[in-house]
Structures are given as structure tokens and as C-alpha cells.
């Protein structure tokens, strides 16, 4: 079965947690698209060749969350040929046999506009900043300012801005628990799968 779930939304809204949970529930593969550039940077060598040859196993490297991988990701993300290759990777991943869940900021609008189910996961900036602060610490006001600035940058960029697809189901996790959000998402996926079998 080929079945794509696209999950978009701003940082710390819960899209990765929801994506992993529904992927596990349905036996789908999951892709955190933010890891792609880190993997290309961590592989070293010619970044275009690394992007073109990227395989899912490369995303399981233990060093992808390191500061060095983050710095390398920033460098390779500026290369248009790398971005084009990673677009192709994401589209191949999305349509693999057995089903796939992708989370990011432009999955339902740019990467997989044909996805069978689309979600836009959001929450208030204050709630998302608090979640991020719990992870990273630091000054809470600074974290909130960073979240707001990142939202503005993602929504206003010229290429693939972060917007909800017109047919995306909105999941606002400001007051909704993650378990409730996962169940809402899973219910929508089950309905679409059954419709496909009818």
C-alpha cells in the first residue's frame, strides 16, 4: 500500500511526536525532514553527491543532533543542488510501499501535495516556547523571542513558506494533550484508509 501522511507546523508544536506515534501505530515509515540536511553535512565529501546518494539508514546516525552536524547542515542547505536532491529524496520516501509519515514545514504544500492525509499542527507561541525552554533551558523570554522570529522567517520566506495546505486538518495542541492529538490524527488516517479500500 502506498499512503502518505503529511504533517506540517511550527517548531515545538508536537508534529514530530505525533508523526512518530501514528507511524508506529500504522506500521508506516517516519521521516523527520529536518534531519536530511544534517545527514548530508555529516556524511562529508561532496555535498551534492551525498544528497543524491542519501538512503534512510543515513538518518539513523547517532551524531546528527550534534552541534557539528548542525553547523554542517547550515552550510549544505545553501546549495541549490542539495535542496533539489533532497526534494527528490523526500518524494521517493513519501511514496514508498508500506506507507510513510513525513513531518516538516512544507510537506503538504510543496513536497507531497498529493498526500492522502494532511495535518497542520500548531500551538500558541507561548506554549511552544515553554516546551522548547523545558528542553534547552536558558532565558524564557529569549526562547519566546526565538520562537516568534523563527515562525516569522518560516512563514515569510519566498521559497516554500510554512502555510497550512487548504485540505489539511488543523491540530491545535495549545490545550489539547498529545495523546488526544495522536488519536485525532489516527482516526482521520483510519477513515481515509477505509475510503481507499471501498
Task: Measure the N-to-C terminal CA separation of the chain; round to a whole number of Å.
Answer: 14
Q: Is 14 annotated as a binding residue?
A: yes
Backbone angles phi, psi at 166, to 5 degrees: -55, -30
Alpha-carbon gap, residue 40 to 51, rounded angstroms: 6
Q: Is 17 annotated as a binding residue?
A: yes
Q: Is 44 annotated as a binding residue?
A: no
Residue with the three cell numbers 520562537? 147
Q: Is 10 annotated as a binding residue?
A: yes
Alpha-carbon gap, residue 154 to 92, rounded angstroms: 24
Q: Is 11 annotated as a binding residue?
A: yes
The vertex-186 CA angle with 183 and 187, nearest 5°, equals 85
Binding-site residues from annotation: 9-17
Binding-site residues from annotation for ATP: 9-17
Amino acid at each position: 500500500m502506498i499512503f502518505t501522511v503529511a504533517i506540517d507546523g511550527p517548531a515545538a508544536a508536537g508534529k514530530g511526536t505525533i508523526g512518530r506515534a501514528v507511524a508506529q501505530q500504522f506500521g508506516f515509515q517516519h521521516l523527520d525532514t529536518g534531519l536530511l540536511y544534517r545527514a548530508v553535512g555529516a556524511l562529508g565529501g561532496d555535498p551534492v553527491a551525498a544528497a543524491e546518494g542519501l538512503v534512510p539508514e543515513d538518518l539513523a546516525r547517532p551524531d546528527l543532533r550534534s552541534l557539528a552536524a548542525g553547523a554542517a547542515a547550515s552550510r549544505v542547505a545553501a546549495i541549490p543542488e542539495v535542496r533539489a536532491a533532497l526534494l527528490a529524496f523526500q518524494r521517493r520516501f513519501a511514496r514508498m510501499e508500506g506507507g510513510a509519515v513525513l513531518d516538516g514545514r512544507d510537506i503538504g504544500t510543496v513536497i507531497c501535495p498529493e498526500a492522502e492525509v494532511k495535518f497542520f499542527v500548531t500551538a500558541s507561541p507561548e506554549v511552544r516556547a515553554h516546551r522548547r525552554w523545558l528542553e534547552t533551558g536558558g532565558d524564557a523570554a529569549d526562547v519566546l523571542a526565538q520562537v516568534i522570529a523563527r515562525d516569522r522567517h518560516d512563514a515569510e520566506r519566498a521559497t516554500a513558506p510554512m502555510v497550512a495546505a487548504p485540505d489539511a486538518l488543523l491540530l491545535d495542541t495549545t490545550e489539547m494533550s498529545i495523546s488526544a492529538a495522536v488519536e485525532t490524527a489516527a482516526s482521520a488516517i483510519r477513515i481515509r484508509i477505509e475510503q481507499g479500500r471501498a
